[in-house]
A and B are shown apart, each in its own frame.
Chain A
Amino acid sequence: MSVTGVEGEERVDYTKAESAQIRRRSLRLLGSLLFPLRGSVVMAMLVVIVSTAAQVAGPALIAFGIDRGLPALLNQDWVPLAATGVIYLITGITGALLIAWYTVLSARISQAVLIDLRKRVFLQTQRLSLEFHESYTSGRIISRQTSDLDAIRELLDSGINQLVQGLLYMVFTAIALVTLDGVSGLVLLVALVPLLALTRWFQVRSQHLFRQSRTASASLIVQFVETMTGIRAVKAFRTEKRNEGVFGKLVESYRLVNARVIQLFGVFDPGLILIGNVTVAAVLLVGGFRVADGQLAIGALLAALLYTRRFFDPMEEMAMFYNSYQSAAAALEKISGVLEEQPGVPDPAKPVDLWTSTGAVHFDNVQFEYQADRVILPRFDLTLEPGQTVALVGSTGAGKSTLAKLISRFYDPSAGRVLLDGVDLRDLHPKDLRRAIVMVTQEAYLFSGSVADNISLGKPEATRTEVEAAARAVGAHDFIVGLPGGYDTDVNKRGGRVSAGQRQLISFARAFLADPAVLILDEATSSLDIPSERLVQEALQTLLSDRTAVIIAHRLSTVAIADRVLVMENGVIVEDGTPAMLISGTGRFARLHAAWRESLV
């Protein structure tokens, strides 16, 4: 088994070599994201080091003021105290300004990384073939771009900042303490032992609990969203009471996990305070005797106590770092896998331009298979003449859609070539390919935005007049002007009150606005009601006259307008001829047609 790309993404049992391979890949990605920003990163590091040092200076200055400034002042010498005060002000102001600057600097860096990553994943998603999307599922590719990127954002936004600032703060505080009073430094060193033990315990436990908490909240959310999106069925089948029971149980298990997370903090947080306070008492003990002996100045003892107390401040936030680090690392591993995927239908290295297309499609010794042992379309040759309207007929799974997807280059053939005007589709410039060949599928997807926006997707530079003309041509104009906002009606909420048939009409208009040389209609009229279908068919007669068209339809009424019918069975074209010719024959199509007429009253 390999772990290249997204393979094995859901596995949990990686071997050492595989884990190393995945880690290398995500580190490489991280490196490539940070490399262009190396200047800013170095700068930010410098700023944060200086600013933290300035912040930590305070207690030492207080010690100096008490131990040196006070005696001097008693001798009427203002200089040491005034100098201390001024230096305190300067370090305070510098520290604060630099920290503020660092906050902005680090945000710039993390935002630059994020936007780079967002664009890369988005672009990669668009480049990957339909075959990839069909097997990887939309849910997963969406979570790569939403929840996984969120995990990385959280790490960059707060996790790293807290770690860097917290660590530096603790290191500088420790240095200051050791410089000020080595013995207190030793006490702190001893205190590190229980501190690290407690933190480690917290990490191990919290990691486990946070995972449970995420799972619990995820099932809560699924139940909630399903109830709300399926509210019609909920009400129609009166499952409200039962749902309340189910949801109540999920709420309770989420509450229990949450309560346990909170209890964990309830131990960790007082534990930190306890260690801190005990250390303060210990520093006081070892310091007190020396102050009494005159070996240590009072101010130094105070500073040692203040440093000790402040040393533990960043611990709680830093303990959280490990959690955000872990989820971000897992996210980065998955994202790097998606980015590693090679597009199955790659853009040509040396694209061939095709400014105008006649619409001549030729299958040259083509074979298509998903895997070597599952041949979908065995080797065949086929030529579609320019301007011809071809109907593809056959039962589900006969290979009609696959054939159509080869023409629109959603798939590439496993062997042989598909040619448009003599140019291999694989060499054709993607822009020219998409201008020349358009496919309309059964599932008519509408993007959020207005009806007009959705139609003009076929030709972004189209004027409103052109959009309306396209809508008129397919018979969509009348219902569109009947919508509350006409062409500017928002089709939000997955189509809203726009019915399935109306969605199909809009996507028809979109295709006609694109005005391709080759138009492929895959079950594109299945949701239309009869009057609309009749309108579309009338429109098709004229609209298809000057272009090559491939029509796939279950309902044979659509086939009537074809010049040529291809009957497919198990991936093979078994009949090929004009409709009249085939109907009058005794083949499959003639039988199908007879059965269909039976069904029509």
Chain B
Amino acid sequence: MTTTAPQHPPHVAPEPAARPNTFRTLLRLYPYAKPALPRLGLGMLAALFASLMALAIPQVLQQLVDGALSQGDTAPIWPAVLTVLGLGVLEAGMIALRRWFVLVPGTHIESRMRNALYARLQDLPVTFHDRWPSGQLLSRAVSDLNMIRRWISFGLVLLVVNFLTIVAGVVILVSMNWILGLIFLVCSIPIWIYGYVFEEKYSVIARRSQDQTGDLATAVEESVHGIRVLKAFGRGSFALKSFTNQAEELRGTEIEKARAIAGIWLWLLLVPDVAFALCLVAGVWLTSQGQLSVGELVAFFATATVLRFPVESIGFLLSMTFDTRTATDRFFDILDTPNTITDPPRPVTITSPRGRLAFENVHFRYADSPERFPDLLNGVDLVLEPGETMALVGLTGCGKSTLTALTTRLYDVTDGSVTLDGVDVRRGELRRHIAMAFEDATLFSASVRDNVLLGRPEFAERSPEADAVLAEALDIAQAGFVHDLPDGVDTLVGEEGMSLSGGQRQRVALARAVAAAPAVLVLDDPLSALDVNTESLVEAALRRVLVKTTALIVAHRPSTVMLADRVALLEDGRITAVGTHSELLATSPHYTFVISSLEDEERRESSRAEESL
């Protein structure tokens, strides 16, 4: 049950053939990185300068060893030491400078990209979010952008600088003695190759390990959220077994990962030591032949030691570059997703809406719905006159929620139109006239007050007027319980605050819709989690609001239907009947089937019998 593959969103891995090369992909970061470029360049210069300082120190040693020390002259020691000290201090200073130039601007790049991603995600339609789990989006917003920042301010700089350092170092080594220089160079090449191959292999394992860790976390979450079910059926050991299997898989991957790391360590340690051993024998021999001075031999090993890190780093810097390219791809996956629901360039506005909501020949189907199914909404025609309350009734899954979602453009019709006061909702900025409450009530991490007044930005500051609206909305939604919370209406709720029960959340969400004081109120089964008593209290209070507001209410219960002036019956993707509750009961067998229980029918039978008397 918990062993399914992780849910992969579509388009994570586009066709390899269609992918532009790494350089072109990374170039797309240019607009975000542009302001930081001068400092990046300066940082590289500083880093290069630091490397040159480090490479200069062995040269001083050579002079000292070959000159003064071999002749027992102590006079040049102090100047040489002071030079080494000076170079050493400069190196440290340049490294500090490199960091100062590069790293803080890097954080600005990260922030810019993060804000852009967030804005884009908020802009993309609900259908996009239906397909992408928030975890996938989160890893893009956090770890991918982190990666990109580290690459720009660290990876890219070091890649360039270390490459130049190696070139400079090898030139120095070769100019000292070409044989030794060549041995060193030849020995470095396998490290680059192996380093690159390793990183490619490693990143595959690392990604697998990440996926498996994610699956394991999902298994943990489910075992906790579903603990009542597991306990009720005594399936704890069953869950443990499947959890253990997953954990064992992860352990296998982790050990495989350790093996890969062991492999790269082996090479990183082995190759330089072999090179040093060879160079030692060759160097001492060359010295004995008089082709190399002792000072040069000393300088050679000192230089080679300086070059060890740059040589070792090339492999992982390259792989970091490729990982960053993947992260960049993932970032632009989202930024490039076309938005199918965009605001019109010049939206039509309605200053004082009357609230006439009309559905004309509305068609809708989900993009992933199999072809054998007809459109979910297959030509809906329905008109809500201003101030009218319409209940929407139909079987579970017949598209009631989808129909209501079309009004605020959570989805767009695939054909036909939805209009408010004659203006197509796609042509105007009309959402502020329509407020919704959902069955699945999401509250945000903010105070109850802020949650309820979400649709009224003008009440962001406390004012008597705001308090009045808040109090009235809470009263209508029977959400008086909020006054008993630790800080009353200022209590923090949502993920970071108090956890409320389903029924409590629904009532706050209903208050939120009411407080928005819209021309059209759309309620998608917003009372499902309430008990019968509370439900009837809410309904009684709602009646007051509904007198002056156009409302579309998804209803499952006769009591909710009672709120409405008229009822529309949604059946097979169409509105098959519109009328009052009793009209429909009398004329529509399907309506009777949907809305009334067995006893009702008996009761109606008997009341008809009474009437006929």
Q: Bound state CA distance, A119 and B265, in angstroms? A: 31
Would you give the 0/1 interface string for B225-259, flagging 1 where the beta carbon is closer than 8 Å to chain A? 11111111111111110011001100100110111
Would you give the 0/1 interface string for B242-283, flagging 1 where the beta carbon is closer than 8 Å to chain A? 011001100100110111011101110110011011101100
Asked if residues B255 and A107 are in contact (CB atoms below 8 Å), the reply is yes
Q: Bound state CA distance, A229 and B240, in angstroms? A: 29
Asked if residues A224 and B229 are in contact (CB atoms below 8 Å), the reply is no
B160 interfacial contact with A, CB 8 Å:
no
Q: Bound state CA distance, A29 and B78, in angstroms? A: 58
Known: A88-B276, A133-B224. A277 touches B91 (CB 8 A): yes
Q: List 16 A-B contacts (CB under 8 A).
A: A66-B284, A92-B269, A93-B274, A126-B239, A220-B142, A228-B134, A233-B512, A238-B431, A247-B118, A270-B95, A434-B235, A500-B439, A500-B528, A510-B229, A526-B529, A530-B597
B587 interfacial contact with A, CB 8 Å:
no
CB distance from A478 to the nearest CB of B (A): 10
Q: Bound state CA distance, A224 and B436, in angstroms? A: 22
Q: Choose the segment among A261-269, A417-425, A583-591 that binds chain B (4+ C-beta atoms closer than 8 Å).
A: A261-269
Partner of B297 from A66, A97, A240 at Cβ < 8 Å: A66
A115 interfacial contact with B, CB 8 Å:
yes
Question: Which residues of B are found within 8 Å of A301, using beta-carbon distances?
Answer: 298
The secondary structure that dominates the A interface is helix
Q: Choose the segment among A177-185, A202-210, A450-458, A569-577 that binds chain B (4+ C-beta atoms closer than 8 Å).
A: A450-458
- Other CB < 8 Å A-B pairs besides A123-B236, A445-B229, 6 of them? A233-B509, A255-B107, A262-B107, A292-B69, A447-B222, A460-B235
Asked if residues B89 and A285 are in contact (CB atoms below 8 Å), the reply is no
Known: A96-B273, A226-B445. A298 touches B294 (CB 8 A): yes
Q: Bound state CA distance, A276 and B53, in angstroms? A: 14
Known: A111-B251, A233-B438, A281-B81. A84 touches B395 (CB 8 A): no
A514 interfacial contact with B, CB 8 Å:
yes
Would you give the 0/1 interface string for A416-438, flagging 1 where the beta carbon is closer than 8 Å to chain B? 00000000000000110111001
CB distance from A138 to the nearest CB of B (A): 5
Would you give the 0/1 interface string for B65-86, flagging 1 where the beta carbon is closer than 8 Å to chain A? 1001100111001101110110
B379 interfacial contact with A, CB 8 Å:
no
Asked if residues A600 and B600 are in contact (CB atoms below 8 Å), the reply is yes
Question: Which residues of B are found within 8 Å of A458, using beta-carbon distances?
Answer: 233
B531 interfacial contact with A, CB 8 Å:
yes
B171 interfacial contact with A, CB 8 Å:
no
Q: Which chain B residue lies CB-closest to A123?
A: B240
Q: Bound state CA distance, A230 and B505, in angstroms? A: 13
Asked if residues B107 and A226 are in contact (CB atoms below 8 Å), the reply is no
Asked if residues B284 and A237 are in contact (CB atoms below 8 Å), the reply is no
Asked if residues B223 and A274 are in contact (CB atoms below 8 Å), the reply is no
Among B302-344, those with CB < 8 Å from A are: 302, 305
8 nearest CB pairs, A to B: A434-B234, A277-B88, A92-B273, A107-B258, A230-B442, A88-B277, A126-B236, A274-B92
CB distance from A538 to the nearest CB of B (A): 9
Question: Which residues of B are found within 8 Å of A50, using beta-carbon distances?
Answer: none
B494 interfacial contact with A, CB 8 Å:
yes
Question: Which residues of B are found within 8 Å of A381, using beta-carbon distances?
Answer: none
Residue from B80, B280, B457 having most chain A Cβ neighbours under 10 A: B280
Q: Choose the segment among B28-36, B122-130, B544-552, B565-573 that binds chain A (4+ C-beta atoms closer than 8 Å).
A: B122-130
Residue from A101, A291, A557 having most chain B Cβ neighbours under 10 A: A291
Q: Bound state CA distance, A439 and B229, in angstroms? A: 8
Q: Which chain A residue lies CB-closest to B266?
A: A100
Known: A100-B266, A306-B302. A125 touches B274 (CB 8 A): no
Asked if residues A73 and B285 are in contact (CB atoms below 8 Å), the reply is yes
Question: Which residues of A are found within 8 Å of B65, using beta-carbon distances?
Answer: 291, 298
Residue from A103, A267, A306, A534 having most chain B Cβ neighbours under 10 A: A103
B361 interfacial contact with A, CB 8 Å:
no
Question: Which residues of A are found within 8 Å of B265, using beta-carbon distances?
Answer: 96, 99-100, 103
Q: Which chain A residue lies CB-closest to B275?
A: A92
Residue from A138, A221, A227, A240 having most chain B Cβ neighbours under 10 A: A227
Asked if residues A449 and B1 are in contact (CB atoms below 8 Å), the reply is yes
Asked if residues A100 and B1 are in contact (CB atoms below 8 Å), the reply is no
Asked if residues A142 and B496 are in contact (CB atoms below 8 Å), the reply is no
Q: Which chain A residue lies CB-closest to B282?
A: A85
Q: Bound state CA distance, A138 and B499, in angstroms? A: 11
Partner of B72 from A226, A280, A292 at Cβ < 8 Å: A292
A251 interfacial contact with B, CB 8 Å:
yes
B495 interfacial contact with A, CB 8 Å:
yes
